[in-house]
Structure 1
Amino acid sequence: MSGLGESFAAVVSDGSLLLAGGVAALVGLISFASPCVLPLVPGYLAYVAGLTGAQATAPTGSAPTGPAPGDGAGPGSRTSATVATAAPPRRRVVAGALLFVLGFTAVFVSFGALFGGLGRLMLEWAPLLTRLMGIVTILMGLTFLGGLHWLQRERRITRRPPAGLAGAPLLGVVFGLGWTPCLGPTLSAVNTLAYSEASAARGAALGLAYCLGLGVPFLLVALGARRALTFSAFARRHARTVMRVGGVLLVVLGVLLVTGWWDQVMLWLRAWLASSGLGSSVV
């Protein structure tokens, strides 16, 4: 256990991982705000909670309300029963969202660990392969910007598990494995960063950071958090701008990887943390 703790401490205190993790989390947030994920969030939440009909469209966590005083309807009236039935149970929605997020988190963390492990095994070819993957990241950024229409064809797994809490983690796995091209460009950038870290543990950490950026908004919307709902409405109104910002971010990251400037930034950050003593204070 002590060896495992030391390994985890080494991963967390690595300045380059902190910066790469921040980029991965931001890329995950952009994935959530993309036009082919964000509009489907209410449907996903209703599906994983097993809600149908009026329940799926009622505001999350809304309380049942009875008839107005003086309308002649009692507590057991048809109006009161209808409103009470329409209100979805918040706990069930949040539980379904959490299981759904855990499902795709398992997929993306595995991807990160795989690419990080490959980077360690292929250290001899790391500079060349990192530059090639940087070129792929640039192409994915151009796809976000609308420059490569042939990469924007939507391919996804259409078979879904049963609705409800039991199928929620399986739906998350299906989402992680088959939802492209929306997740493809951003996920390729995260996996490229994982490869450049040349460590399965660091790659898994980057995959987890990506899932935080993508999954936390799902949970906040399920909780009915006002800021999350406001952000969702803003992202819908400015969908094209969100895609452009994401595309520019991916292109810049790709250029840094191709030119080798990313490695230079990482070396500088590690040296700065070592000289300032912040690296040891993190642990």
Structure 2
Amino acid sequence: MILLDIGTWAQGAVSGGLLLALPVALLAGLVSFFSPCVVPLLPGYLSYATGLSATDVMEGRGPRLRLLAGSALFVFGFALVFVLQGVAAGSIGRALLQHQRALTIVLGILAILLGLIFAGLVPLGQRDLRFHRVPKVGVAAAPLLGLLFGLGWTPCIGPTLAVVLSLAMTEGSAVRGGVLAFVYALGLGIPFVLAGLAFARMNKVVRFVRRHQRLLMRIGGGLMVAVGVLLLSGGWEVLMAEVRQWATGFDVVI
């Protein structure tokens, strides 16, 4: 009975519109990783989280377990920030369910504006609040540093995060909002951990991103605008209805 209840809860928590929003959130996290306030400063962030020098991180000379632990705990710290924001957004959306269509229109307009900002076509929100004098305290304080940097990144990655939180609001559920924000954090965090374990290999990707950063941000902004257009036009609800119909064809197997 307990296993069945867990399966039923899981099916309810990850179903319908959320199945459509999850890949959007994951892609938004990846786009955020390649933003100007994250990828160019990757060696510094990893140095803060592990207590190793930036040179050791870039050349892969540090202990792999230390690099893994430091980067993973750092990711855990900023993931907690985003999940709490997702839970809050989902709770607000639940309170506004009776105004669902009006809320979706407002969020659609907001997503379009944020996409244009992220693409650099609207000169707003281009600054971040990085902490420039953080001691290299190492693995033990990596979660706290993740919390601090998660808050400090918010103005810079705000457009992508805000689109994910907008989708969390349309879900109208604190649990689904938290799940959506967690997947966003995975999109941002998994490349971070991979960079910690193999920065020399990731460095090729970093150099590529630096050379084509404007193009990549334009593409990311365009995808955000597309989500906004779907929300504004009602296309998102149509797609959610299709996904819900598809999802109902599966039974709980837990």
TM-score past 0.5 threshold: yes
5+ residue gaps, structure 1: 61-86
Structure-2 residue corresponding to 1:129 = 103
Instruction: Decide whether the 8 Å contact of 2:83 with 2:182 is kept in 1.
Output: yes
Distance 2:242 2:226 in 1: 19
1:225 Cα deviation after fit: 7.1
Equivalent AA in structure 2 for residue 21 of structure 1: L
1:35 Cα deviation after fit: 2.3
1:268 Cα deviation after fit: 1.7
For each residue in 1:66-106, what CA deviation from the matched residue of structure 2 results, as whole angstroms up to 9, or x when unmatched?
A: xxxxxxxxxxxxxxxxxxxxx32221111100000000111
Structure-2 residue corresponding to 1:11 = 13
Of 75, 78, 96 in structure 2, the residue corresponding to residue 101 of structure 1 is 75
Instruction: Decide whether the 8 Å contact of 1:160 with 1:174 is kept in 2.
Output: no
5+ residue gaps, structure 2: none
Structure-2 residue corresponding to 1:217 = 191
Secondary structure in 1 matching 2:232: helix
Instruction: Decide whether the 8 Å contact of 2:81 with 2:151 is kept in 1.
Output: yes
Secondary structure in 2 matching 1:36: coil
Equivalent AA in structure 2 for residue 38 of structure 1: V
- The Cα RMSD (Å) is 2.2
Secondary structure in 1 matching 2:251: helix
TM-score (norm 2): 0.90
Moved more, 2-11 or 225-234: 225-234
Distance 1:145 1:56 in 2: 30
Distance 1:236 1:166 in 2: 31
Structure-2 residue corresponding to 1:198 = 172
TM-score (norm 1): 0.82
1:21 Cα deviation after fit: 0.5
In the alignment of these two chains, the number of paired residues is 252
1:11 Cα deviation after fit: 1.8
Of 213, 234, 240 in structure 2, the residue corresponding to residue 239 of structure 1 is 213
Instruction: Decide whether the 8 Å contact of 2:57 with 2:199 is kept in 1.
Output: no
Structure-1 residue corresponding to 2:28 = 27
Instruction: Decide whether the 8 Å contact of 2:114 with 2:159 is kept in 1.
Output: yes
The percent identity for this pair of structures is 48
For each residue in 1:234-281, what CA deviation from the matched residue of structure 2 results, as whole angstroms up to 9, or x when unmatched?
A: 22221111101111011111111112211111012212333xx2x326
1:179 and 2:153 aligned: yes
Equivalent AA in structure 1 for residue 192 of structure 2: F
Instruction: Decide whether the 8 Å contact of 1:37 with 1:182 is kept in 2.
Output: no
Structure-1 residue corresponding to 2:63 = 89
For each residue in 1:157-178, what CA deviation from the matched residue of structure 2 results, as whole angstroms up to 9, or x when unmatched?
A: 5564652112210111112112
1:10 Cα deviation after fit: 2.1
For each residue in 1:195-240, what CA deviation from the matched residue of structure 2 results, as whole angstroms up to 9, or x when unmatched?
A: 0011111111101110111000011111117764443332222111
